[in-house]
C-alpha cells in the first residue's frame, strides 16, 4: 500500500500535466499560446494589415462573416487555448485549484479588470453575466411602496425584468420614459431623464449602449443629475465595455455590470460587477455560502464552486486586449463606424437608424433597407452572403443591427455594403 502511494505521488510530481506545479508555473504553461500571440499584437502599426492579423486570431465557421458581436462575442484562438489549458489543470487536481490554488491569480484578474475601468480592485466582483449583476442590484434595494425606478423604453429585458420581479410586488413603480431614436445632441437624451425624475425617484436603471439601435446613453451626465437629488444609478454595461474607453471613476455611477463575453472576447460565463465603494452598503449577495460574513465586495461572488478557468480566461482576454492597446481598439471602433456610414450615406435606399454623433454611437450601427422586411434582409444576408446580423423590428426600426468588432476588416464592410445594395434593388 505504501509503495503504491509513493508511486502515485511520484506520478503526480512528474506527470505531463504537472498537477503539483505551483499556480504561477501552471499559469505560465497555460498561457504560452497567448504570450506567443501577444508578440504579434504589440505594435504601433494601425494599418489594415495589422487588423488582418487580429482577424486571423479569431476562428469562425467556414463561410461565415460575423457582424453579430452585439449578440454574443467571439473568443480569439489564444484565449480559447489558454482556457482549455486552465480547465485541464483543474480537472487534473480538482480540489487544489477549486479551493485556493488559484487565489492569487484570481486577484490578479480582479486587478486587471479594475485597471480596465480605472477603479479600485476593491470595487470589482467577478460574477457570471450582466443579468446576474442587474438581479443583484434589484434584489438588494430596500425600496418602499410608492418609490420609483426610472427605466427607459430601450432597456434590455434582462435589465428590466429584475426590477419587475424584485420590486413591483412591493408597490414600487417603474417609470418608463421614451427615448428618441435619432437624438441630435447628448442634452436631448439627458432631458428625457430630467423630466422623468420626481421626488419619489430612488434609482435610475440605464444601459450604457442600447442593444436596439446602438445609441450610447450619456451615463456621466445622467449620474450627475441623479446624484444631485440623492438618486442611485445602476448601469447595464453589456454592450459598451471593450468597444470604447470607459472610466467609471470619472463617470461616477453607483453600479455597473458587464458580460465579458461580448466586446472583451472572454470565455462565455464570466462577467464583471462594479460597485462604487460608498455605494456597496446597499448590496446583498444573491447567493450565500461559507464566508458570507466577508465585508469586501468578494461576498458578491461567493459561489463555493464555479468555473474558475473562465475567470482566468477573462484575465487572459484582458492581457490580449492590453497587448493591442485600449486606445487603439477605441480608435478602430470609430474608424470602422465612419467607414461604413460614409460609404452608404448617399444611398437613399439604405437608411441609418443610429445616431450620428460619436458621443451617441460607436461600434453598433443599425440600417434599414427601404421597402424590405428586416427578417428578409437578415435571411438574405446569411443565405446568400454568409453574413450574420441581428434583425431589429421594435420601435419601428425594421433594420439589421451590425457590430463592428476588432476582427472586422474594411474589405468585409465593403462586401457587406455590396450585399445590402444588391438586396435593396
Q: DSSP letters along 30-94, please?
A: HTHHHHHHHHHH--S--SHHHHHHHHHTS---TT-EE--TTTS----HHHHHHHHHHHHHHHHSH
For residue 118, being part of any structural domain is answered with yes
Query: Both 116 and 176 in a single domain?
Result: yes
| Same structural domain, 310 and 336 | no
pLDDT over 80 at 275, yes or no: yes
- Asked whether residue 391 falls in the same domain as residue 415, the answer is yes
Q: Are residues 373 and 253 in the same domain?
A: no
The pLDDT of 174-196, averaged and rounded, is: 98
The CATH number given to whatever domain includes residue 374 is 3.90.1150.10
Question: Binning pLDDT at 50, 70 and 90, where does residue 73 land?
Answer: very high
Q: Which of 195, 190, 194, 178 is nearest to 216 (CA)?
A: 190
Find the distance separating the first CA and the last CA of the chain, reported in whole Å.
80
Identify whether residues 317 and 340 lie together within a single domain: no
Cell representation of residue 158: 434582462
Residue 352 β-bridge partners = 367
How far is 205 from 178, CA to CA, in rounded Å?
14
Return the CATH number at 112: 3.40.640.10
**pLDDT above 90 covers what percent of the chain?**
86
pLDDT of residue 100: 86
Relative to beta strand 201-207, strand 232-236 is parallel
Q: Is there a domain that residue 214 lies in?
A: yes
* pLDDT tens sequence across 40-69: 788 888 999 999 999 999 999 999 999 999
Report pLDDT digits (tens) over 297-306. 999 999 989 9
Kindly state whether residues 120 and 235 are assigned to the same domain.
Answer: yes
Asked which of 322, 348, 368 is the last residue of a domain, the reply is: 322
Contact 353, 368 (CB under 8 A): yes
Domain identity same for 218 and 277? yes
Is residue 175 domain-resident?
A: yes
Q: How confident is the model at residue 14 (pLDDT cuts 50, 70, 90)?
A: very low
- Whether residue 53 lies inside any domain: the answer is no
Please report the sign of the dihedral spanned by the C-alpha atoms of residue 367, residue 372, residue 376, residue 380.
Answer: negative
Residue that finishes a domain, picked among 291, 322, 353: 322
Residue pLDDT, tens place only, 226-260 = 999 999 999 999 999 999 999 999 999 999 999 99
Q: What's this model's pTM, rounded to 2 decimal places?
A: 0.92
Does residue 298 share a domain with residue 337?
no
Are 260 and 312 within 8 A, CB to CB? no
Per-residue model confidence (pLDDT) at position 25:
64
pLDDT in tens, 89-111: 999 999 888 888 899 999 999 99
* E strands present in 132-207: 148-151, 173-175, 201-207
**Structural domain contains residue 44:** no
CB atoms within 10 A of CB 84: 15
Q: Write down which residue in 307, 322, 337 finishes a domain.
A: 322
366 shares a domain with 310: no
Q: Span 138-143, mean pLDDT?
A: 97
209/144 same-domain check:
yes
Domain count, the chain: 2
* pLDDT tens track for 122-137: 999 999 999 999 999 9
Q: Which domain holds residue 263?
A: 104-322
In the numeric block, the cell 449602449 is attached to 209
The Cα angle at residue 256 between residues 403 and 135, in degrees rounded to 5: 100
In a domain? residue 84 = no
Amino acid at each position: 500500500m505504501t509503495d503504491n502511494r509513493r508511486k502515485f505521488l511520484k506520478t503526480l510530481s512528474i506527470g505531463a500535466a504537472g498537477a503539483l506545479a505551483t499556480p504561477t508555473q501552471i499559469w505560465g504553461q497555460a498561457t504560452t499560446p497567448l504570450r506567443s500571440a501577444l508578440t504579434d499584437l504589440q505594435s504601433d502599426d494601425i494599418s489594415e494589415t495589422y487588423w488582418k492579423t487580429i482577424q486571423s486570431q479569431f476562428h469562425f465557421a467556414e463561410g461565415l462573416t460575423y457582424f453579430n458581436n452585439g449578440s454574443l462575442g467571439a473568443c480569439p484562438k489564444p484565449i480559447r487555448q489558454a482556457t482549455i489549458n486552465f480547465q485541464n489543470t483543474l480537472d487534473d487536481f480538482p480540489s487544489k485549484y477549486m479551493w485556493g490554488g488559484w487565489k492569487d491569480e484570481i486577484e490578479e484578474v480582479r486587478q486587471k479588470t479594475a485597471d480596465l475601468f480605472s477603479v479600485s480592485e476593491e470595487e470589482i466582483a467577478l460574477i457570471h453575466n450582466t443579468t446576474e449583476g442587474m438581479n443583484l442590484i434589484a434584489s438588494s434595494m430596500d425600496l418602499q411602496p410608492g418609490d420609483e425606478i426610472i427605466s427607459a423604453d430601450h432597456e434590455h429585458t434582462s435589465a428590466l425584468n429584475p426590477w419587475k420581479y424584485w420590486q413591483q410586488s412591493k408597490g414600487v413603480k417603474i417609470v418608463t420614459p421614451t427615448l428618441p431614436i435619432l437624438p441630435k445632441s447628448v442634452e436631448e437624451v439627458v432631458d428625457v431623464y430630467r423630466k422623468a425624475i420626481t421626488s419619489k425617484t430612488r434609482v435610475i436603471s440605464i444601459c450604457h449602449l442600447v442593444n436596439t439601435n446602438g445609441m450610447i446613453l450619456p451615463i456621466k451626465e445622467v449620474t450627475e443629475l441623479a446624484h444631485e437629488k440623492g438618486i442611485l444609478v445602476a448601469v447595464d454595461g453589456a454592450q459598451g465595455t471593450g468597444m470604447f474607453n470607459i472610466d467609471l471613476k470619472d463617470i461616477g455611477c453607483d453600479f455597473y455590470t458587464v458580460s465579458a463575453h461580448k466586446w472583451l472576447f472572454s470565455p462565455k460565463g464570466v462577467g464583471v460587477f462594479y460597485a462604487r465603494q460608498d455605494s456597496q452598503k446597499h448590496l446583498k449577495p444573491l447567493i450565500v455560502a461559507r464566508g458570507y460574513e466577508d465585508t469586501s465586495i468578494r461576498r458578491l461572488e461567493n459561489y463555493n464552486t464555479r468555473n474558475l478557468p473562465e475567470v482566468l480566461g477573462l484575465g487572459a482576454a484582458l492581457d490580449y486586449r492590453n497587448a493591442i492597446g485600449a486606445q487603439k481598439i477605441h480608435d478602430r471602433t470609430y474608424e470602422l463606424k465612419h467607414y461604413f456610414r460614409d460609404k452608404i450615406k448617399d444611398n437613399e435606399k439604405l437608411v441609418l437608424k443610429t445616431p450620428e454623433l460619436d458621443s451617441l454611437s460607436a461600434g453598433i450601427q443599425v440600417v434599414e433597407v427601404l421597402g424590405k422586411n428586416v427578417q428578409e434582409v437578415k435571411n438574405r444576408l446569411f443565405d446568400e452572403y454568409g453574413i450574420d446580423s441581428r434583425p431589429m423590428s421594435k420601435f419601428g426600426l425594421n433594420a439589421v443591427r451590425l457590430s463592428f468588432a476588432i476582427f472586422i476588416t474594411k474589405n468585409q464592410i465593403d462586401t457587406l455594403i455590396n450585399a445590402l445594395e444588391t438586396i435593396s434593388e
